[in-house]
């Protein structure tokens, strides 16, 4: 993993600290079973190596702001790293932590570049034929003219809205990491509408939404049929909806630093390329009470059944929506239906869509199957939540 950043190296034995920050490249290397951090910049043009066994302290309190400090005991130096790519810095931090925890970490064979590239502010030219757009402050409507845009980075922006027309662009990579989402309910209600347009539904492969303060994944992202990478680390997620199983091509899932208690069973039989589940509790509450399901039951669970029961009619409409899984704007369906997408899932046995009114919950324990799993050292398995038809007679399991 090669990281471009700026570093100021402070000699902790010197009376006056150095405050000069240099444009640098940083790399972790493994030589003869020993890990090294290598730094290259104008002060160390032939690279300076630090033994990671000498790493005394990692200051990571400001990692969300793209800053990290590495304190070495030999030499007695403190490296203050500032990196614009916060997600990369975070991955770098995790890699360091894994090495310190004694895990055998796979180190790529990348070499130091011969020249340290200069860090430029990205210039957005709004050229209609541009393939990439990076914004560092706010969204600009001129993006909508970039008909060939395939990479849209709106990180650390003020994002009161994403115009729905973005969904007409053939975007394969979208990042809104670190951005400030709207605070008003009416703006939030329409925020994800762009996912209902047919182009982006099929083109989007990577969606990064780390550190945007969300409590649950918007169900609209499950319309993105070809999504391969979903990154939602550093949020407040306590569950992942079972609908995620409909994302058949999802290969990489990054959900570190959330409040997850379990994974949905729908994902248990796939092999991921990469999964990051670190810093989540993964402990089932006792008694088994899940806030989003409880909320659903409170609203719908105790209604008196009637031949023309409105809830069954709703289920009928919902069933149609789920079976065809065609994208729609959430305002196009009654608000009361929205919560269904948080709780609905397929019966583990017959694969029929079921709701809390008629499902049982069971848990099994295992680790996700992945080529590369990033997890806490102490976690040996996580709960997988499966849903089953409550009434065995109604279960349409085919023998
Ligand atoms: Zn069933």
CB 368 within 8 A of CB 270: no
Q: Is the pLDDT of residue 136 over 90?
A: no
pLDDT score at 245: 93
Question: To the nearest whole number, what is the mean pLDDT of the chain?
Answer: 85
Tell me the residue length of the chain. Answer: 399
**Would you list the DSSP string of 127-182?**
-TT-SEEEESSB--GGGGG-TT--EEEETT-B-S---GGGGGS--SEEE-TT-B--
Cα separation, 216 vs 210, in Å, equals 12
Contact criterion met (CB below 8 Å) for 11 and 19: no
| Rounded mean pLDDT, 37-53 | 89
The pLDDT assigned to 105 comes to: 65
Range in 167-171, 200-204, 389-393 with the lowest mean pLDDT = 389-393
Report the separation in Å between the CA atom of 336 and the middle of ligand 1, taken as the mean of its atom positions: 25
* CA 224 to ligand 1 center in whole angstroms: 26
Q: Name the residue among 262, 102, 88 with its Cα closest to residue 175.
A: 88
354 Cα–ligand 1 center, Å: 8
pLDDT recorded at residue 306: 45
Closest CA to 252 of 28, 61, 87, 66: 87
CA 54 to chain centre: 32
Q: What is the mean pLDDT of residues 194-201?
A: 92
Rounded distance from Cα 227 to ligand 1 centre (Å):
27
Query: pLDDT at position 218, please?
Result: 94
Residues near 102 by Cβ (< 8 Å), separated by ≥ 6? Answer: none
Residue 165's pLDDT band (cuts 50, 70, 90)? very high
In the predicted structure, residue 121 carries a pLDDT above the cut 50: no
Would you place residue 332 in the very low, low, confident or very high pLDDT band (cuts 50, 70, 90)? confident
Q: Answer whether the bond into residue 49 is a cis peptide, omega within 30°.
A: no
pLDDT, position 299: 74
Å from CA of 361 to ligand 1 middle: 12
Give whichever of 16-30, 150-164, 319-333, 360-374 has the largest mean pLDDT: 360-374
159 touches 176 (CB < 8 A): yes
- Distance (angstroms) between ligand 1 centre and the Cα of 359 equals 9
CA distance 11 to 322: 61
pLDDT of residue 106: 65
The pLDDT confidence band at residue 125, using thresholds 50, 70 and 90, is: low
d(CA 167, CA 193): 8
85 or 241, which is more confident: 241
Under 8 Å between Cβ of 211 and 177? yes
Rounded distance from Cα 392 to ligand 1 centre (Å): 7
Highest mean pLDDT out of 58-72, 240-254, 289-303: 240-254
Q: Which residues contact 199 (CB under 8 A, 6 or more apart)?
A: 167, 168, 169, 170
**Ligand 1 centroid vs 157 CA: distance in angstroms?**
45
Around ion ligand 1, residues with a beta carbon closer than 5 Å are 347, 349-350, 389, 395
- DSSP per-residue codes, 324-346: H-----GGGS-HHHHTHHHH-EE
Ligand 1 center to residue 72 CA distance, Å? 57
Q: How confident is the model at residue 366 (pLDDT cuts 50, 70, 90)?
A: very high
Measure 352 CA to ligand 1 centroid, in angstroms.
Answer: 6
Give the lowest-confidence range in 35-49, 243-257, 314-328, 367-381.
Answer: 314-328
One DSSP character per residue, 170-237 reads: --SEEE-TT-B---SHHHHHHHGGGGGSHHHHHH--EEE-TTS--SS--GGGGG-TT--EEE--SS--
Q: What's the CA-to-centroid distance between 353 and ligand 1, angstroms? A: 8
Rounded average pLDDT over 365-373: 94
What stretch of H or E contains 8?
strand 2-11
pLDDT tens for 181-197 read 988 888 999 999 999 99
CA of 348 to the centre of ligand 1 (A): 7
């Amino acid at each position: 993993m090669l990281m471009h950043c700026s570093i100021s190296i402070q000699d902790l034995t010197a009376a006056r600290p150095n405050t000069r920050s240099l444009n640098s490249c940083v790399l972790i290397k493994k030589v003869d079973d020993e890990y090294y951090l290598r730094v290259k910049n104008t002060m160390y043009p032939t690279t300076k190596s630090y033994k990671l066994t000498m790493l005394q302290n990692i200051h990571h309190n400001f990692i969300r702001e793209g800053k990290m400090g590495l304190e070495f005991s030999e030499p007695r130096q403190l490296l203050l790293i500032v990196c614009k790519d916060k997600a990369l810095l975070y991955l770098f931090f995790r890699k360091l932590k894994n090495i310190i925890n004694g895990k055998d970490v796979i180190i790529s064979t990348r070499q130091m570049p011969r020249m340290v590239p200069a860090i430029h502010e990205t210039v957005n030219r709004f050229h209609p034929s541009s393939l990439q757009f990076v914004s560092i402050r706010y969204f600009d409507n001129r993006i909508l003219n970039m008909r060939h845009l395939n990479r849209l980075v709106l990180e650390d922006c003020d994002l009161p809205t994403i115009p729905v027309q973005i969904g007409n662009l053939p975007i394969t990579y979208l990042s809104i990491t670190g951005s400030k989402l709207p605070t008003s309910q009416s703006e939030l209600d329409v925020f994800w509408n762009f996912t209902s347009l047919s182009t982006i539904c099929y083109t989007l492969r990577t969606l990064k939404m780390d550190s945007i303060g969300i409590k649950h994944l918007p169900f609209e992202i499950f319309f993105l049929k070809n999504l391969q990478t979903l990154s939602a680390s550093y949020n407040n997620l306590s569950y992942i909806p079972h609908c995620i199983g409909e994302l058949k091509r999802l290969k990489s899932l990054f959900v570190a630093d959330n409040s997850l208690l379990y994974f949905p069973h729908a994902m248990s039989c796939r092999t991921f390329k990469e999964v990051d589940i670190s810093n989540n509790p993964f402990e089932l509450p006792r008694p088994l009470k899940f806030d989003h399901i409880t909320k659903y039951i409170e609203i719908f669970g105790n209604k008196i059944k009637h031949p023309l029961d409105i809830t069954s009619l709703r289920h009928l409409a919902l069933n149609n929506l789920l079976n065809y899984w065609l994208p729609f704007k959430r305002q196009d369906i009654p608000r009361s239906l929205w919560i269904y997408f948080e709780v609905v899932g397929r019966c583990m046995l017959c694969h029929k869509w079921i709701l809390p009114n008629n499902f049982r919950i069971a848990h099994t324990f295992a680790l996700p199957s992945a080529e590369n799993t990033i997890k806490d050292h102490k976690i040996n398995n996580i709960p997988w939540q499966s849903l089953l038809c409550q009434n065995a007679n109604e279960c349409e399991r085919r023998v």
